[in-house]
Structure 1
Amino acid sequence: MSRLPQPNLKRKAVDDLDGPGTSKLPALGSSTSQPTRPTRTLAGKGHPPALTVPRAPLLQTTNITTTRPGAKQRAVSAPPKSSGPVRGPQRVPAATSKAAPPTKGSSSLQPVQEDGRWIEVQEQLHGMQAAQKNDRETLRAEMAAERAKREELERFHRTLEQDLVTARSLEQESRRAVNVASDELDRLKKKHASELMDFELAQTRLERENRQLKDDVRVLEDDLRREKDTTRSLKETISQQSTAHVTLTAQITALQSQSGAVVNELDAVRAHAADLLSQLQKEKARADELEHDLLEAETLRRKLHNMVQELKGNIRVFCRVRPALPSDGSPSNTGVEVASIAYPDKRDHKEIVLSSSSESAMGAERKETWQFSFDRVFEPHSSQADVFEEISQLAQSCVDGYNVCIFAYGQTGSGKSFTMEGGASREMQGMIPRAVEQVFRTSEHLRSKGWEYKLEGQFVEIYNETINDLLGSGEFDKKKHDIKHDKGSTRITDVVVVPLNSPAQVASLLSLAQSRRSVAATLMNERSSRSHSVFTLRISGSNAMTGETCDGALNLVDLAGSERLNASGAGSDKERLRETQSINKSLSALGDVIAALGAGGASGEKGHIPYRNSKLTYLLQNSLSGNSKTLMLLNLSPLAAHLNESLCSLRFATKVNNTTLGTAKRQIKSS
């Protein structure tokens, strides 16, 4: 609670102390000729009239301080309380001081005048002291009155504070009462709003029920009208039905007569159905018989297909001449010289003729011609599809359970890798992806005849008489691999064998193998294959309907370049020299094996066949013997600079073509 400001009741008394009664006395010794200043009249009751005080001499004054609680202190100059003569330091007239020697012209009456003036000053001083004493008494009386007023005001102030506390407590109680009344008013308002909402909902519900009742009344009126219309129409219908009943009675009589005829027809239909059922049973028996004949026909087809392949020869040679490429020429030449190659057999495409002209030392022109004949000769414009069309039947033989070997032979840069692996587009696919696709397509076709096949693939290379796995997990195969032969099948130890589920999977395997293939630059080709690559597709089939099983293998071989040592330019590099010697040794061993087979040693009884002379021939032992079908695909370069290497390749292919192998045997699993 804030306190009310208290009035300063002592302000007037303090101001009176500074009033006229406190004027300073005139200095002693001053001249009496000057008039004295009148004193101020003190304000307030009981003050005596103002006195005329002469200027007093300069005296030592004492500060009179009136002190009261809470009031300011003000100093008032006043003479000392004693009414006697002033003691202490004072200015003494010159007459009372130490006698001075008289001067000339001084009057003898000066001491008497100064004593009279001093008495007058003392009388005035006594009068002033008496006046000040009266003033002090008056001031004390006024201060006592002011203290009484102050005490009265303080009592009044305390009374006011008590009244204020009481008023505030009453105000708080009033506010609490107002809050309670306000809460009660809010509750009543909410209750009123809720009741009003209930009344409105009830009214809305009643109005909705009223409208629904009105709609029901309208519906019932409509139903009543419809019922009346229906009753009227029923009456009309009854009259019409009466007429129709007579008509129907006549029709029933006619239908009863017709039902007898229908029963007779139903008996005839049943008899015909029995005949059809008998024919169905006969046709089903015929279908079973045809299915059995179909299975026998499939077996016969296999025999006839194998017979046709044997009539064509279990070892065949195809020759393919690649077209001239822009990369064949050097930057300094605008073109490239192509060898003179002719294809006289336009019907069967089995002959190829090479010719060359040169000048003798005497300047005479000398012409040479070489003619060769093979099972099929492909000209430079022949496509990959044309080449595979001639060898697709060998893929069928592999599915039938025979070992098949297709190997590409020729000098470096003649197109062997392109023929076997091909390019990225579908039109450029080589023999390996096309053969795999053909095997998948044939196995899927034979599935309807009860055959189930399992296909696996492996890809290895033979480099410097060492076998490397091209599908291994590491960047370079460091394992030692050995070749194992067991009952017509060939296995290589520690190689990755991948189950094949689709032809697209083979494309990824070829890409992986190509990145790991050993290649090196030679004079014949900037990026030459320096190893033999062998892709083996194993096929295992079984027929649950006939109980037959078969096991075939398709070996697709891309041989290394067959150029001579001086033509390859590898003599200056020891590593390239060693590679070329190893390649030529394996190719020579291949020629020796084919020569031994052609000499009548296919069965292994009449002579020794040197399969072990190289890793290549030993790996292909079961595919080069009389138990397999072999195709040699000779690749030639059309360039005149490669004519001598082409002639060497053609002579080797002719020797292979003249070789006759024994009858191929089907590989059947032992149960």
Structure 2
Amino acid sequence: MPASFANSHLSSSTNLKRKAYNDDDNIDHPRKLPAIAEHNASRPLQQNRSAINVSKLGVGPPPLTKPRGPAITTARTTRATSAPLKPSAVPRPASRVALASRTGVARTTSGPLAPTVISTQFQTLQSQVASIEHARAADVARLAADMDSERSKVAELQANHLAMSRELATARTQELSQRRDLVNASDELDALRKKHAREVMDIEMDLKKRDREIRELNEDLRIVRGDLERERDAGTLLKATVAQQSTAQITLQAQNSALQAQIGALQSSCDFSADTVTKLRLDLEMAQKRVEVLEQDAREAEMVRRRLHNMVQELKGNIRVFCRVRPLLPSDLPTNIDDVERARAEALANVVYPDQRDHREIVLSASSESATGQERKETWSFGFDKVFEPHSTQAEVFEEISQLAQSCTDGYNVCIFAYGQTGSGKSFTMEGGSASSTVGMIPRAVDQVFQATEDLKSKGWEYTLEGQFLEIYNETINDLLGNGEFDKKKHEIKHDKSGTRVTDVVVQALHSPAHVRALLARANSRRTVAATLMNERSSRSHSVFTLRIRGTNALTGEACSGALNLVDLAGSERLNASGAGSDKERLKETQSINKSLSALGDVIAALGEKSEKGDKHIPYRNSKLTYLLQNSLSGNSKTLMVLNLSPLAAHLNESLCSLRFATKVNNTTIGTAKKQTKSTS
């Protein structure tokens, strides 16, 4: 706070104090009326001394004494009291009658003052004293308030002083910093001056050298001129010969000068070209070294990415289960209905998804009537690695699967299979629809594999891709990419060190995602499909699409191979619900499907017991499906099961069976996946 502001506050407080004191001095203090003298009636009234002391000191009234009046011989008259008069307002009475009339006291000519008059004066004095004390208390309170105000102003001034001290300290710190910067700048300036002095010295030395060369040239020129003069003296004897020779000499000198100028220009150009070539060579060497470093960093980063990616996948589990509930379709509702919303509510099962953050839980509930007629409510809760609600898109599902597809290019075996009852949406999940937004997992995985192999070319990797598409129908393997009729060739499954292979099947070299989509369309047209009561296009067979990837890196000498198995299992269904019991062919198909799915459950259960108890026989050979997927379930692969569920209440029992089977799979441990790598060096 500036000093002028403080001085103004101090002066204002001083003025307030002076005003208070002046107001205290201007208080109209009451004055005592003197007793009426008997013999000096013309003497003016004087102010009581005790009242003057009170008004001057302001410390309270003096002790009260009872006034005594002089004896009056005249007749007594009555006297009335009135309000005390100010000293300046008391006139000088001319006579006793005038005094009695001004003071309002009636006396008798013979007796003293009456007691009533004395008491009235005493009360008047008391009231005056009380008003004085009240005024004094008011002055004390006003002075206390002024003192508090002055204290607050002093505190505010001290705070402002402290702030200004801090600002001064900051300014001093900045000044020291600027001084340090100035010293550093001075040092730099001195260094530049020294450097400039050295450069000037070098230039002066060069100038001296040039001057020396010029002197030498001048000396040579002087000598040449002397020789020329001698030659001229000798040339007078042979004028004709000298004339011819001089003409030839002039011509040769001109040619020599032109040649010397050309030589100088060529020498300058050669020097400039040599400097440019040297600089370009240095730049090329630095660029080559930089490229080698970047390529090495890229290769190391790719190795780290593969290791970390595999570590993440292992932490998530090498066998995982996703659950997907399909939406309600128009074909699920009866055609002759009026209230569509009510029909939808009655058709849908009571399914909730309580985990809205991680989406890992699904809860089913149903109410039934017991034998006693009471309503009984049952609730089933299941947890998986991921649960997709009916509104989930194909892109959202593949976003979770894409990490496993990436592992395939890193040299791991990956198996993704769709499981569920008939009509639960397995084929839509794996193959998808015709629109770009509804493309299934198989085309999306193939697109990502091709994209990953294309990106890795810059890091020295070269990949070759091959594909095959098989169908297992009634425990018989059919080649969906072959040209002949089904069941004409006997295909056998072989397991060796290189992996799993099937005899006499067509293996196509894959060049682009469009080529893969054409092969998938061809295979789907040959796949066995029949109609049941539960699904008008129920898949009656298991389809297995295998994508083999082999990669080599000429820079690091590393090679890897992996396989991506995308399996669309046949729909699990009960004979009574599907209506297949009346048809022998459908009955045989349903029994074969249920047998293979049961064998798959036995294999998974045996794997779980093996992880807990140690050595355990795994019944892979009980079904062609499990025997074909042996390497995908034995611990050398990363396996993902996509459980597809129907939202209909009529399929609740089938959904519960599928959920229990998926829970068994989710609780199974198959070990750590092994990377299929080898060195090419």
TM normalised by structure 2 equals 0.57
Distance 1:438 1:274 in 2: 47
1:656 counterpart (665, 668, 673):
665
Long gaps (5+) in structure 2: 1-267
Matched, 1:532 2:536: no
Matched, 1:308 2:321: no
Amino acid at match of 2:301: A
Matches within 5 A, 1:376-455: 376-455=386-465
Amino acid at match of 2:669: T
Which residue of structure 2 lines up, in the alignment, with residue 219 of structure 1? none
Matched, 1:500 2:507: no
Which residue of structure 1 lines up, in the alignment, with residue 524 of structure 2? 514
Matched, 1:594 2:604: yes
Distance 2:453 2:522 in 1: 26
Distance 2:295 2:609 in 1: 45
Matches within 5 A, 1:179-578: 281-282=285-286, 284-333=288-337, 335-336=343-344, 337-578=347-588
Q: 1:500 to 1:280 in 2, by over 3 A?
A: closer
Contact 1:476 1:516 in 2 (8 A): no
Name the SS for the 1:514 alignment partner. helix
Contact 2:369 2:376 in 1 (8 A): yes
Q: 1:447 to 1:272 in 2, by over 3 A?
A: closer
Amino acid at match of 1:540: R
Name the SS for the 1:593 alignment partner. helix
Contact 1:542 1:549 in 2 (8 A): yes
Per-residue deviation at 1:421? 0.4
Which residue of structure 1 lines up, in the alignment, with residue 190 of structure 2? none
Distance 1:278 1:543 in 2: 30
Residue by residue over 1:274-323, the C-alpha shift from the partner in whole angstroms, topping out at 9 and shown as x without a partner, is 89976774564344223212212211211111111001100000000000
Matched, 1:665 2:674: yes
Contact 2:558 2:679 in 1 (8 A): no
Which residue of structure 2 lines up, in the alignment, with residue 212 of structure 1? none
Distance 1:515 1:274 in 2: 67
Amino acid at match of 1:323: P
Contact 2:532 2:580 in 1 (8 A): yes
Name the SS for the 2:436 alignment partner. coil
Long gaps (5+) in structure 1: 1-262
Per-residue deviation at 1:670? 6.9
Q: Which has the larger radius of gyration?
A: 1
Matched, 1:617 2:630: no
Amino acid at match of 1:502: S
Matched, 1:581 2:591: yes
Name the SS for the 1:309 alignment partner. helix
Residue by residue over 1:417-442, the C-alpha shift from the partner in whole angstroms, topping out at 9 and shown as x without a partner, is 00000111111110001000000000
Distance 2:531 2:678 in 1: 45
Distance 1:490 1:528 in 2: 28
Q: 1:268 to 1:574 in 2, by over 3 A?
A: closer
Contact 1:411 1:645 in 2 (8 A): yes
Distance 1:635 1:382 in 2: 12
Per-residue deviation at 1:630? 0.1
Distance 1:518 1:371 in 2: 36
Q: 1:651 to 1:279 in 2, by over 3 A?
A: same
Which residue of structure 1 lines up, in the alignment, with residue 652 of structure 2? 643
Residue by residue over 1:19-56, the C-alpha shift from the partner in whole angstroms, topping out at 9 and shown as x without a partner, is xxxxxxxxxxxxxxxxxxxxxxxxxxxxxxxxxxxxxx
Contact 2:611 2:669 in 1 (8 A): no
Distance 1:342 1:352 in 2: 6
Amino acid at match of 2:658: S
Contact 1:535 1:557 in 2 (8 A): yes
Moved more, 364-373 or 637-646: 364-373
Name the SS for the 1:427 alignment partner. helix
Name the SS for the 1:363 alignment partner. coil
Contact 1:475 1:516 in 2 (8 A): no
Matches within 5 A, 1:154-169: none
Distance 1:445 1:268 in 2: 43
Per-residue deviation at 1:580? 1.0
Distance 2:678 2:278 in 1: 49
Matches within 5 A, 1:55-66: none
Which residue of structure 2 lines up, in the alignment, with residue 132 of structure 1? none
Per-residue deviation at 1:349? 0.6
Which residue of structure 2 lines up, in the alignment, with residue 144 of structure 1? none
Distance 1:303 1:595 in 2: 30
Per-residue deviation at 1:331? 3.0
TM normalised by structure 1 equals 0.58
Residue by residue over 1:339-385, the C-alpha shift from the partner in whole angstroms, topping out at 9 and shown as x without a partner, is 01111111111111111112334332211111111000000000101
Residue by residue over 1:104-153, the C-alpha shift from the partner in whole angstroms, topping out at 9 and shown as x without a partner, is xxxxxxxxxxxxxxxxxxxxxxxxxxxxxxxxxxxxxxxxxxxxxxxxxx
Distance 2:518 2:487 in 1: 19
Amino acid at match of 2:404: L
Per-residue deviation at 1:451? 0.8
Amino acid at match of 1:622: N
Which residue of structure 2 lines up, in the alignment, with residue 17 of structure 1? none
Per-residue deviation at 1:329? 2.0
Which of the two has greater helix per residue?
2
Moved more, 397-406 or 284-293: 284-293
Contact 1:422 1:430 in 2 (8 A): yes
Q: 1:284 to 1:499 in 2, by over 3 A?
A: closer
Contact 1:488 1:622 in 2 (8 A): no
Amino acid at match of 2:334: S
Distance 1:432 1:536 in 2: 10
Per-residue deviation at 1:605? 7.3
